[in-house]
Amino acid sequence: MSVLLLLISALILIYVGVGGTTAALVMSIATLVGLFQDEWHIASILFGGLFLALALILVIPSELRLDKFSRPLLGWVRSRLPKLSSTEEEALKSGSVDWDGELFSGKPKWSKLLDAKPAQLSAEEQAFLDGPVEKLCAMLDDWKITHEHYDLPEKAWKFIRENGFFGLVIPKEDGGMGFSNTAHSEIVMKISTRSVSAAVTVMVPNSLGPGELLMHYGTDEQKKHYLPRLSGGEEIPCFALTSPVAGSDAGAIPDKVLCARASGTAKKCWA
């Protein structure tokens, strides 16, 4: 009974998020109550005392817990994490976080979130949503796209190219629409109500594609050459994932590609 009451109290404390001295006191009282119920049986004293000692070590901050549990456990976890490539390390160090970083602080400032002004579409962005996006949606038949033709209609491809859907976030001086991320999200969300395939077709070049990377890190020569071509759909970027176990996590792909050139033709061998 002492072990049972200790486990029950521990689960309740975990659920309500209570630790430290308070948790130690509650578990000690629960164990004593269990010992009393067992009439201080020797087995109950041994097992109850053993589990209580272990629980106290875990819930009370101390050098013992740090040296014997926390550090070894952290080292074990780190040894099993995949190694970051130099590219991934550079990506982690770049950019910034908004309020979402507060969530990982453990004590988020909710007032900062509540004081944030809601995003608004500009008149031009709203007009695009009400005009070209509505026209594109009218062209889409999701059943035919996914079960009959396995592709968007040719008129939809033409409309997407000619109306700047591939350059939503690319600046106007580079041939794009110069829209905000909010507009990008609203446009993709609306298209997805008619066809997820079409929505992803528009979304990927504006997010996973090289447009934004070129905008931030490309040379002037690269921007001048590629951005107008991407905006007009002359070149359509893609993000290819080939591993069945990685999903959309490119960093988790375990496959290796070996390329051998024979008779002037590149041959790919997977290992």
Quick check: helix, strand or coil at residue 187?
helix
| Residue linked to tokens 């948790």 | 23
Task: Measure the CA angle with vertex 238, ends 89 and 257; round to 5°.
Answer: 65
Q: What is the pLDDT of residue 194?
A: 94
Q: Report pTM.
A: 0.57
Q: How far apart are CA 121 and CA 171, in angstroms?
A: 16
Q: Which residues partner with 267 through β-bridges?
A: 260
99: Cβ–Cβ under 8 A, 6 or more apart, which residues?
Answer: 108, 112, 113, 116
238: Cβ–Cβ under 8 A, 6 or more apart, which residues?
Answer: 204, 209
Q: What is the pLDDT of residue 248?
A: 66
- pLDDT tens digit string along 112-151? 888 888 888 999 999 999 999 999 999 999 999 999 999 9
Neighbours of 117 (CB within 10 A): 5
Whether 186 and 129 have beta carbons less than 8 Å apart is answered as yes
The CATH architecture annotation of domain 123-231 reads Orthogonal Bundle (1.10)
| Residue linked to tokens 């990506």 | 91
Nearest Cα neighbor of 251 from 261, 241, 259 is: 241
Q: What is the pLDDT of residue 264?
A: 56
85: Cβ–Cβ under 8 A, 6 or more apart, which residues?
Answer: 251
The distance from CA 210 to its chain's CA centroid, rounded to whole angstroms, is: 19
Residues of the chain with pLDDT under 70: 95, 239-242, 245-248, 250-251, 255-271
Q: Where in the chain is the domain with CATH 1.10.540.10?
A: 123-231
Q: Which residues partner with 70 through β-bridges?
A: none
